[in-house]
Structure 1
């Protein structure tokens, strides 16, 4: 029987979800705890992770909409359901390519609030109008005001790295506007700001240093996203149906979904979180896909990586970062890792308490292979359709043992480099090898190493295990000899598959593969 429950894809309004009978994963116990144990909060999560729905839930709660919470955890926790004035500012709905864009959206919201609570014509600046409308709402209602700001950093992120003058304009405007939340504290019941990252160097928060940043708090690590238990408890009909369509067990579906969409950690000891956008789309479309990654491309992050000359091989294998770099993001081209983490492309995999360092890596296969595939055109001239063709052929050729065809295709891959890339350093070509073998890992077990004392790459297919060694300005014979001398085949001696060693020389003058022996 076809499961037709309503899944809230793109639905960010709590009232709509509840009144239109969309499926809702109950987070209201955490909502109540946050609302009743503190006042000014900041909370960062990657895009499409449920931040807007969270703010809409707070809005319904502080508007006293008890009817919307029937049957949810908060119903047994809240006794009063007081009604407060709620100012909900959503900075998503604007293209911030000029100073007027920010002023326009602030003015639009201020006019809406002033239509309800009144305005003094002598108030002209956005910050002045914001303070006074908060004060009037407090005095007229007799209750403290709630301020909810969604994607507070959207204007800054759009200008960052593209237009320094525009960034400075936004910084000064938002610094003054958000600073009101400190000066108007006596009129406020609750303040909650969300965004992707927390800026320090551009000083938006310098006048708002009282915010409690709960982004990496253990107690709220599961506030946005879906845990494995929540997945099994709330989506059992969809899991069963997806298993039937694919002719596998429900455990197989959970294993596949875990590999693709799980793995986000917002605290070293926090539960792994599934990406809610990809989960919902998988159940709705009844097939697996890169749903989250396709909703936004990390172009700016890749440009930041290129400017920093960061060794991508370290990023792709997991990177260490000090805890201090995540308390506040400082705009630093030499260290793009914190912004890549806060944007959702890396997540916490381990924490060294003694040295206070995080180990960061891709959360799951959707992000890992999506990010690697996105990197390829920045290092080669291949178009998107060609990339998939090349990688597929690479895998097929090694599966049948056709080393010559694989190496010829790899040589053609390098021959397609645009001219301007031919001045790149040795590291550039090592990174390209790295990307090729990492992308092959989607379809067959492939490892690529940058550490000394290990083979450059190992590829495992059902019949073969290939060990590759590349020599820059050396001979293929020397590469092959190194495989023997260093014992690179020994770990696979009892595997049972046929072992194939491949020695390759890379000609720096021609900037391409020279000879190979296997």
Structure 2
């Protein structure tokens, strides 16, 4: 942004300090280094948008959220030299704001997350002086209702909005700003907590959708890494328009070279000239270094899309004057490394990679390709359609598209560090669950085995469980068999005896035979009783192997097992009361077998 001697902006005090790490629009404007994005903000307010935006980390998403908040607050004078102030007829009406940064919420457990959302909403109520009014109305409702829903964060959100739209001095609509909406689940290592947290976030966004349908929301702006968690919904928060690859918003974050960095009189260009003088180079040389290292990001497919610079690396370079890989070194790409899969080995990174726009932003998590994951993480960017569009041909999200590394920083970082990290991750990832299952059965660690099993079931996309034909024992039986077979445990299903069929038998573990009896919608004890009544162990005694019987009950609401129980037997069919005694039994039998072997040798 240009600052001259005659501007009204002299009313503001400028620090002249590069706004590194600042996400407050007021702090960035007062630094003098603000790149004006208010044209996009004015459009969103005018259209009363409900939108989602994805950009890589440290790319200015939170700064834009702060911009929207200050505009909603009616802070007109802060934007004296901005587009929205000078080139539009924006009315500067004040709107109450609900702003949540989900990356700051406590999310170790689903209950933590619910409580943290409610506390954030309560802070908003306190800020606008309506907390006491909300509490009083909720207490009155409790006296006339025994429903627990009155205590939920969803109900509190409804009460909050209903009170905010009646505030004196504000317009009767609310601006909702949610930053990093996917933080509670996208990097959550525990699949059960991940799924529960995802549902909680969806429930929150669904309430906002409902309030928007009631004409109570002026603007809903959501940011995050990936849109899959609401795109794959048939209901819920499927009202959000994804503007991530919209040509209209291609430069909503990041710096353009000509329009932003090289604008005559701008603090950026002044700093570039200072660096050139310090390094005894001309400014054009400094810019060429910056361009190769930090420019190159494109967030739309039209060939006239202007590439943007990584703002974090640009600011750090202008501060230090050293061509370091600042963005890569500022954080681990957890979203990418935790989702690497075997398709990674099929990618030729020595050239542009062919894909489609749809694959870059797939609406389903399990369909998001490695290329899509790398794009959403900021390690690949749009190059061009291949083949190019013909004259008169319209673009489409299914047409072949080339993506590539955006610049030297990303290319070098990938080659020197990330490539090796991804290689190691993909090699070890496939072995982890397999080894955990095998090791747990060898060690007779039933709790550990069931914990790994629980994680495996939780990794299945939730929509598979919603189909009526999958809400039965047969579905869970087949999935369990597939997991055990994938771990190379050689399971046998529906093993017949003279009194019935044993659901699953594993006879591939040294010294131990495992029998599984499965139930659905009952309990594990019923499963164990069935194995005792039908004497399933009879055909496995006197095989010089001890026996473990595991009863498991599956629950459709939990989409996992909810109960398990086990019994231990020695090789002659005698019940052993606990695991420690069972392990002693195995050791004694193995030692006896070894003595017999030596005696016959």
TM-score bin (small chain):
0.5 to 0.7
Q: Is the aligned partner of 1:314 residue 2:348?
A: yes
Give, in angstroms, the shift of residue 197 of structure 1: 1.2
Distance in 2 separating the partners of 1:292 and 1:312: 26
Give, in angstroms, the shift of residue 341 of structure 1: 0.6
Q: TM-score, normalised by structure 2?
A: 0.59
Equivalences for 1:446-461 in 2 at 5 Å?
none
Give, in angstroms, the shift of residue 298 of structure 1: 2.3
Distance in 2 separating the partners of 1:92 and 1:346: 24
Q: Deviations over 1:130-151 (max 9, x none)?
A: 1221111113345211100011
Indicate conservation of the 8 Å contact 2:205/2:237, yes or no.
Answer: yes
- Shift in CA distance, 376/328, structure 1 to aligned 2, threshold 3 Å: closer
Distance in 2 separating the partners of 1:291 and 1:359: 26
SS at match of 2:366: coil
Q: Is the aligned partner of 1:63 residue 2:90?
A: no
Q: Deviations over 1:26-63 (max 9, x none)?
A: 11122112221242111111110101110111111011
Q: Is the aligned partner of 1:336 residue 2:336?
A: no
Aligned residues: 378
Give, in angstroms, the shift of residue 198 of structure 1: 0.7
SS at match of 2:339: helix
Indicate conservation of the 8 Å contact 2:297/2:382, yes or no.
Answer: yes
Distance in 2 separating the partners of 1:91 and 1:337: 26
For residue 312 of structure 2, the aligned residue among 268, 277, 284 is: 277
Q: TM-score, normalised by structure 1?
A: 0.68
User: Which structure has the bigger radius of gyration?
Assistant: 2
Give, in angstroms, the shift of residue 105 of structure 1: 2.7
Distance in 1 separating the partners of 2:250 and 2:53: 11
- Shift in CA distance, 45/206, structure 1 to aligned 2, threshold 3 Å: farther
Partner residue in 2 for 1:84: 95
Partner residue in 2 for 1:9: 20
Q: Is the aligned partner of 1:36 residue 2:46?
A: yes
Give, in angstroms, the shift of residue 96 of structure 1: 3.6
For residue 252 of structure 1, the aligned residue among 274, 285, 290 is: 285
Partner residue in 1 for 2:209: 182
Q: Is the aligned partner of 1:114 residue 2:125?
A: yes
Partner residue in 2 for 1:168: 195
Indicate conservation of the 8 Å contact 1:152/1:195, yes or no.
Answer: yes
Equivalences for 1:234-249 in 2 at 5 Å?
234=266, 235-249=268-282
Q: Deviations over 1:195-239 (max 9, x none)?
A: 111114884684122222211111110110000111111311111
Distance in 1 separating the partners of 2:32 and 2:81: 14
Give, in angstroms, the shift of residue 309 of structure 1: 4.3
Partner residue in 2 for 1:430: none
Partner residue in 2 for 1:304: 339
Q: Indicate the RMSD between aligned Cα atoms, in angstroms.
A: 2.6
Give, in angstroms, the shift of residue 16 of structure 1: 2.4
Equivalences for 1:45-444 in 2 at 5 Å?
45-76=55-86, 77-94=88-105, 96-115=107-126, 116-118=129-131, 119=134, 120-121=138-139, 122=142, 123-141=150-168, 143-159=172-188, 162-185=189-212, 186-200=215-229, 203=232, 206-229=235-258, 230-233=260-263, 234=266, 235-269=268-302, 270-305=305-340, 307-311=341-345, 313-332=347-366, 335-352=369-386, 353=389, 356-378=399-421
- Shift in CA distance, 164/8, structure 1 to aligned 2, threshold 3 Å: same
Distance in 2 separating the partners of 1:16 and 1:163: 38
Distance in 2 separating the partners of 1:37 and 1:148: 15
Distance in 2 separating the partners of 1:21 and 1:41: 29
Distance in 2 separating the partners of 1:45 and 1:334: 16
SS at match of 1:43: strand
- Shift in CA distance, 73/182, structure 1 to aligned 2, threshold 3 Å: same
Q: For structure 1, list consecutive stretches of 5 or more residues without a partner in the other structure.
A: 382-416, 422-518
Indicate conservation of the 8 Å contact 1:242/1:287, yes or no.
Answer: no
Indicate conservation of the 8 Å contact 1:308/1:335, yes or no.
Answer: no
Distance in 2 separating the partners of 1:23 and 1:342: 27
Distance in 2 separating the partners of 1:202 and 1:346: 22
- Shift in CA distance, 368/280, structure 1 to aligned 2, threshold 3 Å: same
Indicate conservation of the 8 Å contact 2:360/2:369, yes or no.
Answer: no
Q: Segments of 4+ in structure 1 off by > 6 A? A: none
Distance in 1 separating the partners of 2:335 and 2:61: 22
- Shift in CA distance, 27/105, structure 1 to aligned 2, threshold 3 Å: same
Distance in 2 separating the partners of 1:380 and 1:342: 19
SS at match of 1:172: helix
Give, in angstroms, the shift of residue 101 of structure 1: 4.0
Q: Deviations over 1:412-431 (max 9, x none)?
A: xxxxx99x99xxxxxxxxxx
Distance in 1 separating the partners of 2:24 and 2:52: 20
Indicate conservation of the 8 Å contact 1:55/1:150, yes or no.
Answer: yes
Give, in angstroms, the shift of residue 173 of structure 1: 0.6
Indicate conservation of the 8 Å contact 1:341/1:347, yes or no.
Answer: yes
